[in-house]
Structure 1
Amino acid sequence: MTTRHHAQLRIAADLAILTVREGALHALVITRGNEPFAGKPALPGGFVRTDEDLDAAAVRELREETCLNGADLHLEQFGVYGEPHRDPRGRVVSVAYLAIMPNLPWPSAGSDASGAAWVAVDRAQGNLAFDHDRILYDAVERARQRLELTTLATAFCPPEFTIGDLRSVYEVVWGETLDPRNFSRKVINTEGFIEPTGRKRVPATGRPAALYRAGNVATLNPPILRPSTDS
């Protein structure tokens, strides 16, 4: 008779929290205070307690490690990571959460984190503990898809903004330079994406630029696709 060995699993929740700061896409990164990987950067997260819902665990871990209130964020599950050797402590399956929001405050380290900070994604990737580089990569890709399909980019603009302001958000998140005329045409032709205010921003030099506000739809139809994926 063949003996079957069933894994003794522990479940974790890991969080990729993204925002735009100083013209670059940033991720929330902690410095681990405990082994394994003490002193290494990682995404916030930790083990789910036996009497705890997954979403509640994600909110708790974010609060304990960074002092940010996850209840104020729209956290969405975007992946499950279960490679057998991803955690040296044993068989751990992680449920990954994503939030991409504007105007997030500076974090403060707590719990088993010895540090917490916003770090530019291109600096963070390649240095994270566990398999968090892969989780962050997947999170950034999901965020980029969100900009293709939804009006999320307007949340990173002031209440009144130019199309150039909006294009800058896309360029930061996508990591691509966009053709201004082509982008403007797509935005204006996407019903409900933005609404004109009738006002203009007058710069110190150059031509005045029309001001817009966020429109009344949440989903873009048609989507605005990245140049690298737009066929």
Structure 2
Amino acid sequence: MEFSSKQEEKHYYQHIASEQEFLEWYKNQEHPMYQKPSVTVDMVLLCYNKNTDQIKVLLIQRRGNPYRNSWALPGGFISPNESTGDSVIRETKEETGVTISEKNIEQLHTFSTPERDPRGWVITVSYLAFIGEAILSAGDDANQARWFSLERKNNRLYLTSGDTKIILDLKTQASLGEDTLAFDHSQIIIKAFNRIVNKMDHEPQVLQVLGDTFTITEARKVFAKFLGVDYHSIDHSNFKKSLIGFLKEVGERPASIGRPSKLYQLKENFREK
């Protein structure tokens, strides 16, 4: 079929032709009418060490440019044949050696600020997951992978591993000091942190960092970490009353002194108290 102008051709395939004809035409255009961004995924992966009473976040050190040698969240570009969820599971495994599943992950936010990536127009879909502390093995685009302890002090988050300390300001959503995160990963971590704090009371999936079973005291300690307070300041009885609807009792943990502690786990439908 011949057309007298590009505009006439465009009108025909958009408004008259079948969808199959339109798609065949569209894919063959040298200059598509809409520019296409690249799409990446980023994972905020959190765990809790009961022995040291520390919340930790998983970071990788980038092997190549841009931001070579900077610390960043695990992630990367998605492939044409996978969803963003499948991609973040694959990228996390490739870069850190940690295996997560669809049951672990929660979509956090889409970050699309222009120039957020110096390579061009790149949109990222971020995810949040809670697991037990796992052994790491860096690979793919990472020099190394580390668990960074995450501590809240007033309106700042301190991410620490060895001599590396990254400070994030909850108000400005920026990195402070010499060590900074790559891209806009400071904003992504802060977004995840605020999501957890805002949902703890009615969707306490953050307790997944405690593993299959936990005590009320251990749950108080996790909540206290995100609130930036001493867990003793959270009243045990009131806390238990507010949380018990999301939990089921599954046994007891023997104590060396005194009564054993009751063990709980999150109900499968914990989102519906």
State the match for 2:143 in structure 1: 114
Offset, 1:52: 2.0
CA distance in structure 1 between the partners assigned to 2:56 and 2:80 by the alignment = 32
User: Given the two structures, how large is their TM-score scaled by the length of structure 1?
Assistant: 0.79
**Equivalent position to 1:195, from 249, 253, 259:** 249
Deviation string 1:189-226 (CA, Å, 9 cap, x unpaired) is 644535385776343xxxx35511215731374xxxxx
| Paired letter, 1:201 | A
Equivalent position to 2:133, from 95, 104, 112? 104
The residue that corresponds to 2:105 in the other structure is 75
For the 8 Å contact 1:162–1:210, the answer to whether it is kept is no
- Mind listing any 5+ residue stretches in structure 1 that lack a counterpart? 222-231
**Letter of the 1:26 counterpart:** K
Q: Which runs of structure 2 are paired with 1:60-209 in the superposition (5 Å)?
A: 60-71=90-101, 74-101=104-131, 103-121=132-150, 122-123=158-159, 124=166, 125=168, 126=175, 127-152=180-205, 154-157=207-210, 162-178=215-231, 182-188=235-241, 190-191=244-245, 193=247, 195=249, 201-203=255-257, 208=258
Which of structures 1 and 2 has the larger relative contact order (alpha carbons within 8 angstroms, sep 6+)? Answer: 1
Cα–Cα, structure 1 residues 180 and 199, in superposed 2: closer, same or farther, change >3 Å? farther
SS in 2 for 1:97: strand
Matched length:
212
Q: Percent identity?
A: 26
Is 1:14–2:32 an aligned residue pair?
no
Q: Distance in 2 between matches of 1:87 and 1:184?
A: 48
* Residues 48, 210 of structure 2: 8 Å contact kept: no
Question: Residue 110 of structure 2: SS of its match in structure 1?
Answer: strand
The structure with the larger Rg is 2
Deviation per residue, 1:54-111 (Å, 9 max, x gap): 111111111111111123761111100001010000000000010012x231211100
**What's the CA shift string for 1:140-178, capped at 9, x where partnerless?**
122233432234365444777543232112112332234
Spell out, residue by residue over 1:111-140, the C-alpha distance to the aligned partner (whole angstroms, 9 max, x if none). Answer: 011110101232244221000000011111
Query: In structure 1, what is the Cα distance between the partners aligned to 2:141 and 2:234?
Result: 49
Q: What CA distance in whole angstroms lies between the structure 2 residues aligned with 1:216 and 1:20? A: 16
* SS of alignment partner, residue 114 of structure 1: strand
Map Cα deviations across residues 9-48 of structure 1 (whole Å, 9 max, x no partner).
0000111001113212211000000100000000011111
Matched with 2:81 is: 51
